[in-house]
A and B are shown apart, each in its own frame.
Chain A
Amino acid sequence: MASRIYRIVKYVEDHFSSFAVSRLIMLSGVKVRKYTRDSSDDPQDFAKVWRAVQELAKTHSQLDELTHLINDQ
């Protein structure tokens, strides 16, 4: 399964901007760009990133998309 953090970053980059990814780093305190597709997610990092991305998501549908994204195998 691809890194969930990687998938979140890719979603944010594709749907928002690189600026938004930088905001994700700021809000979570996690250097998210070190996570590649095949990385193993540190559970604490994932918890911080998941909390932070919910502040970035503007709509319920975006939040739903993100939820499906991290739950897909």
Chain B
Amino acid sequence: MSQLFAGLGSSVHSDTAVAVAAAVAQARTTLHGHTPSVAFVTATVEHDAQQVFAALVAALPGVAVHGITTSLGLLGPSGVINGPDGVVGVLLLAGGKGVRVAVGASAVGADPKAAARKAAQELLAQSGGELPRVVLFNSSPGPEEALLSALAELLPGVPAFGGSAADHAIAGEWSVFTSTGPLKEAVSLVGIFGAVAVGGAIRAPYAPTARQGQVTASTGRTLKELDGRPAGEVLNEWLDGAVSEQLRDGGNILAQTALRPLGIKCQTAAGAHWLTIHPAHIHAPDGSVSLFACAEPGQTLSVMSGSVSGLTAVLGELCTESLERAGLSPEQVRVGILIYCAGCAGAIGAELDTGLREQLARRLGSAPLLGMCTFGEQGYVPGFGNCHQDLSVSLLLIG
């Protein structure tokens, strides 16, 4: 029997300290007396991150802290949890005989790779150099590709699943929770070591269309030109004029592109994998486009197509795939982490609540499942490795 134990609690109380205490108390009840070593916390930005952290360490002295702010609400088999004053969720993790749970974290400055190395080294220092079976990866949005690249050096072959910190308005109000407090720009890792079964999958439920072009100028996550023309002009044509106003005046294009993002085709040993990219903003007058992932010169970008039904059906598909990869029956699952892109959640609205209840509740047992809406998703793709992409959903099950 698995020696990983988990307990989950949540609260929509308006007072942050009360909400955290209530969530912790609820989580403790399903931990069945095991002492937690890590508290994975998430909250919407209605709650001040410093107050969340302070209440958490008061309730759980000596317990390592990990987590991110979530956009829109907390997700689980009962649906979307949120209140007028936001929501707090706490997942407590404990390892019994032969299982260890540890945390490593670092602020991210000008050198994200150095930050990732620091966080990974902190993790490995607690395990005597033993590699974790899986890493729960969470960071601020922006440097995810560089962070994962560095992690691959120190944690070769270790699958990483997670999501990027988020707020509601894409206003930079997100936080990454670490044992030293909440940070705006940071990476935090939870390593789970020892005798556990792990199964995870990441999917972007979109299909490529015939519309595509080559990146001819870009810098990081700023797409400047497609096929030698201003990227915004080309994108507007691909979207049949849906972002004409933003092309003229500049503006946010998240809603218009949530079901029609861009994708980069990657070949893996198991076939093609599409890295989906969410165009976020068109800048006037130069027509450059801000993205939530990197697109390099020379890469081909294709317009992808998705649907509301696809974005809910993917929940059931992920349950099946993750259970199969872990070799677990639903009753054997000890904990689950669900990462759902905030852009997708915003696009499908109330259907998400229905989808969660219909697709998760009947497929999974009663194991604690912590779900968050994020501004970037990371997951392990067999034959490809750990990747960062947008408009994606991932489910990690551990038993």
List the interface of chain A (C-beta within 8 A of B). 13, 16-23, 25-31, 33, 55-56
Chain B neighbourhood of A27, CB < 8 A: 255, 346
Chain B neighbourhood of A17, CB < 8 A: 80, 82, 350, 353
Q: Are B73 and A26 in contact (CB under 8 A)?
A: no
> If the complex has contacts A26-B342, A29-B170, A33-B46, are A18 and B349 also in contact, measured as CB distance less than 8 A?
no
A-B contact pairs, 30 of them (CB 8 A): A16-B350, A17-B82, A17-B350, A18-B12, A18-B84, A19-B72, A19-B73, A19-B350, A21-B84, A22-B71, A22-B72, A22-B82, A22-B168, A23-B346, A23-B349, A25-B169, A26-B71, A26-B168, A26-B254, A27-B255, A27-B346, A28-B169, A29-B169, A29-B170, A29-B252, A30-B169, A31-B169, A31-B171, A33-B46, A55-B255
Q: How far is the CB of A22 from chain B (nearest CB, A)?
A: 4
> If the complex has contacts A13-B84, A29-B252, are A20 and B349 also in contact, measured as CB distance less than 8 A?
yes
Cα-based distance from A30 to B167 in the complex (angstroms): 12
Verify if B83 is at the interface (C-beta below 8 Å from A).
yes
Cα-based distance from A45 to B202 in the complex (angstroms): 36
> If the complex has contacts A13-B84, A23-B349, A27-B255, are A18 and B170 also in contact, measured as CB distance less than 8 A?
no
- With A19-B82, A26-B254, A29-B170 given, can you name 20 additional A-B contacts, CB distance below 8 Å? A17-B350, A17-B353, A18-B83, A18-B84, A19-B73, A19-B353, A22-B71, A22-B72, A22-B168, A23-B345, A23-B346, A23-B349, A26-B71, A26-B170, A27-B346, A29-B169, A31-B168, A31-B169, A33-B46, A56-B349
Verify if B44 is at the interface (C-beta below 8 Å from A).
yes
Chain B, range 241-257, C-beta contacts under 8 Å to A: 252, 254-255
Chain A neighbourhood of B254, CB < 8 A: 26
Chain A neighbourhood of B12, CB < 8 A: 18
Cα-based distance from A25 to B73 in the complex (angstroms): 12
Q: How far is the CB of A15 from chain B (nearest CB, A)?
A: 11
Which applies to chain B's interface (DSSP): helix, strand, loop or mixed? Answer: loop
Cα-based distance from A20 to B351 in the complex (angstroms): 11
Chain B neighbourhood of A13, CB < 8 A: 84
Chain B neighbourhood of A55, CB < 8 A: 255
Which applies to chain A's interface (DSSP): helix, strand, loop or mixed? Answer: helix
Kindly report which residue of chain A lies nearest to residue B251, judged by CB atoms. Answer: A29
> If the complex has contacts A26-B342, A26-B346, are A18 and B169 also in contact, measured as CB distance less than 8 A?
no
Chain A neighbourhood of B71, CB < 8 A: 22, 26
Q: Are B350 and A22 in contact (CB under 8 A)?
A: no
Q: How far is the CB of A19 from chain B (nearest CB, A)?
A: 5
Q: Which of A18, A28, A30, A56 contacts B82 (CB 8 A)?
A: A18
Chain B neighbourhood of A29, CB < 8 A: 169-171, 252
Q: Which of B84, B169, B350 contacts A26 (CB 8 A)?
A: B169
Q: Which of A16, A33, A56 has the most CB of B within 10 A?
A: A33
A-B residue pairs, 5 tightest by C-beta:
A25-B168, A18-B82, A22-B72, A19-B80, A26-B346
Chain B, range 172-218, C-beta contacts under 8 Å to A: none
Kindly report which residue of chain A lies nearest to residue B74, judged by CB atoms. Answer: A19
Q: Quick one: CB contact mask for B271-296 with A, threshold 8 Å, 1 for yes?
A: 00000000000000000000000000
Chain A neighbourhood of B46, CB < 8 A: 33
Q: Which of A23, A30, A31, A56 contacts B72 (CB 8 A)?
A: A23
Cα-based distance from A55 to B44 in the complex (angstroms): 22
Kindly report which residue of chain B lies nearest to residue A55, judged by CB atoms. Answer: B255
Q: How far is the CB of B373 from chain A (nearest CB, A)?
A: 9
Cα-based distance from A16 to B82 in the complex (angstroms): 12
Q: How far is the CB of B17 from chain A (nearest CB, A)?
A: 20
Q: Are A22 and B73 in contact (CB under 8 A)?
A: yes
Cα-based distance from A22 to B349 in the complex (angstroms): 10
Cα-based distance from A22 to B373 in the complex (angstroms): 12
Cα-based distance from A33 to B167 in the complex (angstroms): 14
Cα-based distance from A27 to B73 in the complex (angstroms): 15
Q: Quick one: CB contact mask for B337-354 with A, threshold 8 Å, 1 for yes?
A: 000001001100110010
Q: How far is the CB of A57 from chain B (nearest CB, A)?
A: 11
